Structure 1
Amino acid sequence: MSNRYAALKIPGPLLAAAGLVFLLSACGVRPIPTQPSPAQSDTFLRLDATTFRQLPGWITDNHAEALAVFLKSCEKLKALPPARNIGTESLPTTAGEWRVVCNAAARVNTASKTEVQYFFESRFTPHHATNNAQPTGLFTGYYEPELRGAWRPDATYRYPIYARPKDLISINLGAFRDEWKGQSLAGRLDNNKLTPYPTRADINDGALRGKQLELLWVDSEIDAFFLHIQGSGRVVFKDGSAVRIGFAGRNGQRYTPIGRVLVAMNVLKPEQVSLQTIQAWLAANPLAGRDLMEKNKAYIFFRIIEGEGPIGAQGVPLTAGRSLAIDRKYIPMGIPVWLVTTEPGKAKTPLRRLVITQDTGSAIKGPVRGDLFVGFGSTAGAVAGRMKQRGEFYLLLPKKQGT
C-alpha cells in the first residue's frame, strides 16, 4: 500500500534516544512465542507452528499465482547479503534463509498445480500469528486511483502533486537499534537540529510554493487527498495519455484517519465509515471538508514511475489480490502469508488465499493487521472502500535445512 505513511509512534523507552538521533543528524526457532519486555504494551506477535492441513481452504487456492508474486519478492531478497537480518524483533530471520527457498522457487514448474503446492508444503512451515494470543484482526483493502491532471495549472487543474523536497530528511531508526526496526523519523535541519516538516495545512497554505516541486496538477483536492492515502495512482491527461506516480517520501507528521474524526463528530456511525461515505461528505461540505482533511497532518510526496507498478514498500510491483501491506514492526517484507478472512462487505463469504507481504502503511498497526491491494480504478476503489473485515493469518516460514 504504499502511502504510504509510516507514522512514528515512539514508546516511552525511545524518547530519550530520539535526542541521540537528532544529534546524529547534526554531526528460527519454531514455535515462536515472542514475549514483550516489561516496558512494552500488551501488543506483541506470537507464532505457533501448525500444519498445512490445518489451514482453512488451503487446497482450493491457485498457488501458482502466489508463487509468481513471491518470485518478485525473491529478486529483492536474493540481492541482499546472506547474513543480513531482514526480520523484526519479534521474528528474526536472515536473507540467507530466504535465498535458499527462493532458489528452489525458481526451479518449480508453475504449470503443475501439484508441484507448486508441494513446493510450499515441503519448504515452509505455517505459523498461526496472534496478537498476544488474540487470533483475529482487521483486514482492509486499498487500490490505485485514477486522477485527471495536467502538466501546467489552470482554472481547472489547480491542486499540485509535489515531488520530494531536497531538504526532507528521513531517518531509519532501525539502523540504530533492532527494537526500532520499521520505525522512522522525518523532518528537516534547522541550525543543525532536526525539526518537524510542515504539516498538510502548512503545505496547503503555501509552505512549498516557489520551490519548483510541482510534478503536475489535478482537478480535485479530494482525489489528491485520497491519492496520499493510497500512496500511488495514475494521472490521465486530456489527450488520453497517462503517467503513474508513486511514493517518494513523507513529511513525518502523524497520520490521522479522518473517518474516525467524522465518527467523533457524530457525522457517521462506525459501521458507516467507508471510502465512499467519506468522499461523499467531503464533496458536500467543501469548506469543512478542507478543515477535516487538514486534521490529517501527514503529507506524501511523489515521483513519476516508469514501467510496471504500482510499487510497494519492498520495491516490487504490487499484484491485485496477492500483495498485502502489513506492519513491518512485526512482520518482514516478502514472506508468504495464508490469509483467512471474508469478502468485502460479505461477512459470511470466505476469502482465503496465499498473499505476499510487499507493502506497509500508516494505518496498518499491530501483529494481526493487513491491507490487501485490490487493483486499479473505480471498480477496485469500490471494493477497497467496502473492505473492513475481521480475519486471521498464518505466516509461512522456511523450514530448517534437513527437516
Structure 2
Amino acid sequence: MKHSLFAAFLAVLSMSTPAVSDTEITHTILKFEDLNGWEQDDHGAALEVFQNTCRDLNDPDWTALCNVAAEAGDAKQFFELFFRPVMITNETDGLFTGYFEPELDGSPVRTERYRYPIYQMPKEAKKQRPWLTRREILTSGVMDNRGLEITWVDDPVELFFLQVQGSGRVKYPDGSFIRVGYGGANGHKYRSIGQELVRRGTYQAHQVSAQVIKNWVRRNPEAGRELLFHNNSYVFFREVSEVPAEKGPLGAMNRSITTMRSIAVDPLYTPLGAPVWIEKGGRYPLNRLMIAQDTGSAIKGAQRADIFIGTGDEAGQIAGRIKDPGRLVVLMPIQRAYALLPESVQ
C-alpha cells in the first residue's frame, strides 16, 4: 500500500498549478504538528466524507488524490503524505457559526392545520431579476391555482427559517418524510429580521437568536407577520426526496453533507471539496478535520465557516448558539500549496 501511495504522490507532484495573484490574500504553509489536536482526530471519518465528493472535482490535482484516497488504508498517512496545511487569510478574522437542516410538520395536501405552502419557483421568477418581494408573493395571489405547491406545513415561522437554511425535511402524519432543497430565489437582497429587532430597540445584539425571534413573532402575530415581510428575499424549493432520510441534505456540491464533518465556506478562498482543519474556540472548543462541501450567502471571507450540526430542533438549538472565533487551515495538494506562495519564498 505504501508503494502505491508513493507512486501516486510522484504523479501529483508532476502536475502544474497556477499561482494565485491576489495580493490581498496571504498564504502561509504550516506543518501538521502546528495543528492543535491533529493527532487525536478521527482521520478515517474525515477521509470517508472526502471520498463522498472528491470524485466530482474535475481539477487534475484533486482527481489524482481522489484516486489515491480510494485505496488509502491509513487515513492520517494519506492526508500527511499528499497535502500541506495552508493558512489563507485576508482582512477578516476567524469566525465559526453553525447551521442545520430544519424538520417541519406537514402534509401532502392542504388542511386546516397544514395551510402554509412550500413553493417551487415560477417560470417568470427565473426570468425577471429581481422578481416580486416577499410581501407581494404572499399577499397578491400571484401563486394561487398554479400547482406550484410542493407540500404544506403548519407553521409560517418555521417556514421562514426553512428559507433561511435553504433545505429541510417535512414529516407527514404517517411518519414518512419528504426532503426539499434550494430551488431559487426572487433576487432581492436578504435583510436580517434579527438586526431589525435590534435596530428597533426590541433586543440588544447579544440577545438575538433564531429561537428568540421565533418566540417574539409568535407572541406578536400581527407585528410578527410584518417583521417577516421586512426581509424582501424569498426562497423557492425543489423536492429532493431521492436523498434517503437517514442521510444529510444536499450541499453546494449536490451531494449529501455529513453532521459535524461538513462545513460551508467561501469558495473564493477555499476550494469546494477540500479538507479543512478547523480550530474553533468559544464555550465548546472544537479541533477537527472537516470537508468544505457547502456555501452560504452569509459565509464571506477566507477565515469564515459554517459548521453543519445535523437535522432537527436539537441541532437547530446547538447551531443557533455557535458564534465563535478560531482559525481555518486548508489542506491543499502539495504542488498547489507551494504554487500559492510568492515567488520570493518558493
Q: TM-score, normalised on structure 2? A: 0.87
8 Å CA contact 1:33–1:48 kept in 2: the answer is no
User: 1:46: Cα distance to partner?
Assistant: 2.4
C-alpha distance after superposition, 1:106-148 (max 9, x if no partner): 1112xxxxx211110111111112223x5x3221111111111
- Equivalent-residue separation in structure 2 for 1:330 and 1:261 (angstroms): 30
Residue 285 (structure 2) aligns with: 350
372, 377, 388: which is aligned to 2:307? 372
Matched, 1:322 2:278: no
Distance 1:265 1:29 in 2: 49
Q: How many residues align?
A: 316
**CA RMSD, 1 decimal:** 1.8
Task: Report the 3-state secondary structure (helix = DSSP H, G, I; strand = E; otherwise coil) of the residue aligned with 1:128.
Answer: strand
- Counterpart of 1:227, as a letter, is L
Q: CA deviation at 1:307?
A: 2.5
Partner of 2:334: 399
Identity, % of aligned positions:
43
Structure 1 residues 341 and 154, CA gap change in structure 2 (3 angstroms): same
Distance between the aligned counterparts of 2:300 and 2:198, measured in 1? Answer: 20
Whole-angstrom CA distance in 2 between matches of 1:122 and 1:304: 41
Report if aligned partners of 2:120, 2:149 keep a CA contact under 8 Å in 1. yes
The answer to whether the aligner puts 1:139 opposite 2:96 as a matched pair is: yes
The 8 Å contact of residues 198 and 207 in structure 1, kept in 2 or not, is answered as no
**Aligned counterpart in structure 1 of residue 252 of structure 2, from 303, 306, 313:** 313
* Structure-2 separation of matches of 1:67 and 1:107: 11
What is the CA–CA distance in structure 2 between the aligned matches of 1:53 and 1:33, rounded to whole Å?
28
* Equivalent of residue 102 in structure 1, options 66, 69, 92: 66
Partner residue of 1:255 out of 178, 190, 204: 190
Match of 1:57 among 29, 37, 42: 37
Counterpart of 1:204, as a letter, is L
User: How many Å separate the matches in 2 of 1:288 and 1:325?
Assistant: 33
The amino acid of 2:238's aligned partner reads R
Tell me, yes or no, if the aligned pair for 1:140 and 1:370 is still in contact at 8 Å: yes
The answer for the alignment partner of 1:184 in structure 2 is none
In 1, Cα distance between the equivalents of 2:316 and 2:21? 37
* 2:150 maps to amino acid: L
Residues in 2 aligned to 1:199 and 1:330: alpha-carbon distance in whole angstroms: 32
> What does 1:148-167 correspond to in 2, within 5 Å?
148-167=105-124
- Paired with 2:328 and 2:101, the residues of 1 have a C-alpha distance of 24
The 3-state SS of whatever aligns with 1:76 is coil
Paired position in structure 1 for 2:49? 69
Aligned to 2:273: 334
Which residue does 2:82 correspond to in 1?
123
The one-letter amino acid paired with 1:100 is A
Question: CA deviation digits over 1:246-277, x for unaligned, max 9?
Answer: 11212221011221111111112111121211
In the other structure, the counterpart of 2:344 is none
Q: 1: CA distance between counterparts of 2:332 and 2:219? A: 48
Indicate conservation of the 8 Å contact 1:258/1:292, yes or no.
Answer: yes
After superposition, the C-alpha distances for 1:131-177 in whole angstroms (9 at most, x for unaligned) are: 23x5x3221111111111112212211111001222343xxxxxxxx
Unaligned stretches of 5+ residues in structure 2:
1-16, 339-346
Among residues 294, 301, 316, which one is paired with 2:236 in the alignment? Answer: 301
Which amino acid is 2:26 matched to?
Answer: R
State how far apart, in whole Å, the 2-side matches of 1:108 and 1:298 are: 45
> How far apart in 1 are the matches of 2:142 and 2:287?
46
Deviation at 1:336, TM superposition (A): 0.7
Answer whether contact 1:105 1:119 (CA < 8 A) is retained.
yes
Q: Residues of 2 paired with 1:203 and 1:140: CA distance? A: 30
Asked whether the equivalents of residues 274 and 331 of structure 2 are also in contact (C-alpha less than 8 Å), the reply is: yes
2:267–2:295 Cα contact (<8 Å) kept = yes
Cα distance, 1:33 vs. partner?
A: 7.6
Pair 1:209–1:351, CA change in 2 (3 A): same
CA distance in 2, matches of 1:253, 1:384: 26
Identify which of 261, 265, 269 aligns with 2:204.
269
Q: Which stretches in structure 1 are left out of the alignment for 5+ residues?
A: 1-27, 37-44, 81-94, 110-114, 170-187, 190-194
Residue 203, structure 1, aligned to residue 120, structure 2: no
Runs of 4+ in 1 over 4 A off after TM superposition: none
How much has 1:357 moved relative to structure 2? 0.9
* C-alpha separation in 1, matches of 2:335 and 2:327: 25
Following the alignment from structure 2 to structure 1, what is the Cα–Cα distance between the partners of residues 315 and 283? 21
TM-score, normalisation: structure 1: 0.75
TM-superposition CA deviations, 1:158-197 (whole Å, max 9, x none): 111001222343xxxxxxxxxxxxxxxxxx24xxxxx421
